[in-house]
Structure 1
Amino acid sequence: MVQPRPAAPTVKFVDEYCQWYKSLFPDVRSFEAFKYLHVGCISDLKRKTLPEIAKIVGLDNQQGLHHFLTTSPWDIEKLRTLRLELILQVLKGRPIILIIDETGDKKKGSKTDYVKRQYIGNLGKTDNGIVAVTVYGVFCGMTFPLLFEVYKPRERLQAGDKYRTKPEIAAILIKKAT
């Protein structure tokens, strides 16, 4: 059997962090895309779009990153579960404070899933946008994201979606995070 090639290195601390998740990805290209997206997220790019991230990590185009996010066979729930397990290991049973936040992004048009005219807290007004409910942890003055879920307005539900209010989403996320 031919051994797969090693993943291309990125930034040392990104490589070390991402190594914890390597087993979740079926092939080296998926794992590399995972690492590249992390590099893009911590970069000083003004707009963290796939084409811009592809440029700074040395890819010819964003196609591989897009494939990773849309069709690559990895399981987001396994990644979320492993991430929470790792955080709990680091905390070693020490208590944290949970913060619930709803954050929105203004969107033009209505093509993006779950976009609706709704209150967007960080804008302080009602506008066309998408909203996510996020649970953060606070430990020794450090704030870190734990989980999030996109709010799905009743009018924009898709087949298989279940309507939940923002407080219901928050309650579900709190149970998952604790």
Structure 2
Amino acid sequence: MAAVTAAHSVDPDRWQTEFSAVLDRIAPRFARYEPLRRAGELMAGMISGLDRKNCWTIAEHRGSATPDGLQHLLARASWDADGVRDDLRDYVVDAFGDPGAILVVDETGDVKKGTPTVGVQRQYSGTAGRIENSQVAVYLTYAAPRGHALIDRALYLPKSWTEDSDRCQAAGIPQDDRGFATKPTLAMALINRAVAAEIPAAWVAGDEVYGADPTLRAAICSHHLGYVLAIAAKPARYRPT
């Protein structure tokens, strides 16, 4: 009942004003208006009530006959993805910023068919709850008393990819991004980036994938942040993942 009440309490005009302000904030990151418009459609689709959210379902929801425009945005259009990430991170901090906030690191997997999708292989997917053919990424969430939101991400490239330069080249992975990095190493990069951007926070939290890595724990301490990281009930020899 509370969720229904909250949904009805949203002011549509104010929501549209705020959404337009987000688009204005990220507009300089796009070379042309068309990709910016498609980005707006994609964001609106991602926060819609669709049961399944992909280019096909979002395009249909937005009244397009095909997903070509959204697929072009994600695959070929000229825009600064890292710049948009920074803009949205700053937007989240403007809205929720708190010196006692928590940076939460976690990975999630998207089940995929076939082998061409970057980073795909048979591996554990939290989304499926089992080993599946999937793509995995590490995410950083900003959690504060007034709200929480994702502020950064890093794609996990398994060794089956990083050890196959031809496969990486065929998938369009830049040369500088082809080195293998464990999930804790990716999490460390996300945390370092947040600290460099002076994001207000006091703690880092994560599950045992991250709690088992002593290098990550030391890096967090070097930033004068506290941490709450899970460890296995029966500690085992650390093996990077």
After TM superposition, is the score higher than 0.5?
yes
TM bracket (short chain): 0.7 to 0.9
Shift in alpha-carbon separation, 1:128–1:59, aligned structure 2, 3 A: closer
Q: Give me the whole-angstrom Cα distance separating, in 2, the residues matched to 1:48 and 1:87.
A: 23
Aligned to 1:98: 103
Aligned to 2:37: 32
Q: Give me the whole-angstrom Cα distance separating, in 2, the residues matched to 1:76 and 1:143.
A: 21
Q: Give me the whole-angstrom Cα distance separating, in 1, the residues matched to 2:133 and 2:58.
A: 27
3-state DSSP class of the match of 2:70?
helix
Offset of 1:32 from its aligned partner? 0.9
Offset of 1:34 from its aligned partner? 1.1
User: Aligned pair 1:171/2:176, yes or no?
Assistant: no
Offset of 1:35 from its aligned partner? 0.8
Structure 1 window deviating more from structure 2 (158-167 vs 57-66): it is 57-66
3-state DSSP class of the match of 2:53?
coil
Aligned to 1:84: 89
Offset of 1:112 from its aligned partner? 1.8
3-state DSSP class of the match of 2:148?
strand
Q: Do the aligned residues in 2 keep the contact of 1:14 with 1:38 (CA within 8 Å)?
A: no
Q: Give me the whole-angstrom Cα distance separating, in 2, the residues matched to 1:71 and 1:32.
A: 15
Q: Give me the whole-angstrom Cα distance separating, in 2, the residues matched to 1:71 and 1:107.
A: 20
Rg (Cα) greater in structure? 2
Aligned to 2:57: 52
Offset of 1:119 from its aligned partner? 2.2
| The structure with more helix, counted as a fraction of residues | 2
Q: Root-mean-square deviation (CA), in Å?
A: 2.1
Structure 1: gaps (5+ residues): 1-10
For this pair of structures, how many residues does the alignment match?
168
Aligned to 1:70: 75
Shift in alpha-carbon separation, 1:59–1:119, aligned structure 2, 3 A: closer
Task: Name the aligned partner's letter for residue 170 of structure 1.
Answer: A
Aligned to 2:126: 121
Q: Percent identity?
A: 29
Q: Give me the whole-angstrom Cα distance separating, in 1, the residues matched to 2:115 and 2:50.
A: 26
Structure 2: gaps (5+ residues): 1-14, 163-167, 170-174, 196-241
